[in-house]
A and B are shown apart, each in its own frame.
Chain A
């Protein structure tokens, strides 16, 4: 499909610029720059506020560059709050769920895309339809299941479902990608005596690296950012994830001077996401596009 990162080359007479086109281009630049700055303002404000002393937050007009710059906020946050504990919990959940998601979704997608078996199309259709299902419908019975298993206030409810297929979204995405890999490869491997498991592990997965990367990143973001899941399943303070910790911290905020810490917390929670995004920008963007276009 179309790539987002490269603008379409202008062809033919479009390359010749008239006054109107130059005007249009100038207008585009103006809007793009103004809008770009406007979109960035909340980020800058966040960073700025995270480097203020409590008193500087409650100042009007707002100061963009705090004076003095309170670098101390970050060490304070890391020492006064169990930030590392929250980060550790979040990482355990995120990485385990992500691994299960990639494994089970890719296995299922392989069966949907490259194997023929009775019931395949029916199950695929059902799985696809579940993307439209509101989570509120399944939320309560799933809670009851985990309660019955005695898994409340453990990480398991936030991990196990993702080892069992997880979101249909990823299965669908991987299936679409697997379909584009030439079938001759499977057939040649079969002639050479390879079974489905070897074809999956040694042909399909290595060739599907871009799609797997996208699923990995999207899944990472999903679990890193998740709020409702931990809110329902984790009750004790030492099990909190970053999202829960941030919510608890800002819940204390009213009338107390913790706003600067809340802002610093937010910065630390967002930073890994932004770094990952930049590291994998190209495949990531294509992945989002793929899910939308083929959906």
Chain B
């Protein structure tokens, strides 16, 4: 990209520019660099430090060593509960989202008339603010007057209490998440459109059927984007917060987490400790545990990705 000018000429040019260009480089980056230091790198270190302290954001932090971590792992059943529910949500929603988004993207890639309109219709839900999303779905999932239970009742089944039964809570939230999947679909769709047509043409000459074309061309050629969506899915779903926070507020009060704490997601529990109980040290320890979990999962995915993710090397940087 942008390498039209021959290299030696460019190098000469930049050497002449040298010092002042470096000064400008730093000046242009200064705001963002300040932000990086103040709002990211500094806070990472600070939060690690807080995690070894008792800190209520008023008095100075008191060093307590590993106490927060010990209490988390041995003396806090809700911590394990929130971790379990978050993992349940993630392992349900990540694969489902990927499969559903991929299927929708395949559908959106069909060369039919009016496809732009369909794409728009299918995409719109992704635009809904999460607070409005929660309010809306709380009524759709309402047991007695909700839209979803309407057909179920017509068919003569007992209407399930989607947000009332603890076992149904997480699947309900996954359902809401699936409605707003538009961004993943768009990204996957672009990947599908990026698959070179000549590969399909060649496969067709060789007599490949649709499954073989899908299995040996489409899937490998889009695997890097599937992988990207997977990683983003892990990071996002382990930090799910707003939906659960908002959707159970009317029934259980502020910061409620659904029937029998079924939707007590990890970050929701962390939020409680940080901003309701003002146990900032404890919450920081929770944040670091979450950080490590996500890190380990991501690294694991990268390690495993070599087996199934295909990168076109020639596209190179």
Contacts and interface: CB of A to CB of B under 8 A. Distances in A.
Interface size class of B (residues with CB under 8 A): 35 or more
B187 A144 contact: no
Interface of A: 1-13, 24-25, 28-29, 31-33, 35-36, 39-43, 45-46, 49, 57-62, 104-105, 107-108, 110-112, 115-120, 123, 126-127, 130, 132-145, 147, 161, 163-166, 171, 179-184, 187, 190, 195-197, 200, 221, 224-225, 227-228, 231-232, 243, 246-247, 250-254, 259, 262-263, 266, 269-270, 273-274, 277, 281, 285, 288-289, 291-293, 295
Contact of B29 (A25, A108, A227): A108
Given A180-B2, A196-B24, 10 more contacts: A4-B119, A12-B201, A45-B136, A60-B153, A61-B150, A140-B274, A145-B43, A164-B35, A269-B129, A269-B131
Interface stretch (B67-75, B160-168, B233-241, B303-311): B233-241
B1 interface: yes
Secondary structure of the B contact surface, majority rule = helix
Interface in B280-308: 280, 283-284, 286-288, 290-291, 294, 298
Given A60-B145, A123-B29, A289 B190 contact: yes
B35 A243 contact: no
B21 A116 contact: yes
Most central of A4, A181, A266 by chain B CB within 10 Å: A4
Contacts of B238: 134
A4 B190 contact: yes
26 contacts: A1-B190, A36-B118, A39-B124, A42-B147, A45-B139, A45-B147, A116-B17, A119-B26, A126-B41, A135-B239, A137-B288, A138-B39, A138-B43, A140-B43, A141-B47, A141-B284, A145-B38, A195-B20, A196-B20, A227-B131, A251-B250, A254-B251, A273-B129, A288-B187, A292-B228, A293-B187
A115 B129 contact: no
A292 B187 contact: yes
B25 A45 contact: no
Secondary structure of the A contact surface, majority rule = helix
A10 B111 contact: yes
A147 B43 CA distance: 14
B245 to A, nearest CB: 8
B33 A179 contact: no
Interface stretch (B76-84, B87-95, B191-199, B212-220): B191-199
A25 B144 CA distance: 39
B140 interface: yes
A59 B142 CA distance: 12
B186 A227 contact: no
B29 A36 contact: no
Interface in B88-119: 104, 107, 109-112, 115-116, 118-119
Contacts of A144: 46, 57, 280
B39 A254 contact: no
B165 to A, nearest CB: 18
Contact of B32 (A127, A183, A225): A127
Contact of B24 (A6, A24, A57, A195): A195
A116 B14 contact: yes
A247 B131 contact: yes
A246 to B, nearest CB: 5
Contact of A270 (B128, B187, B286): B128
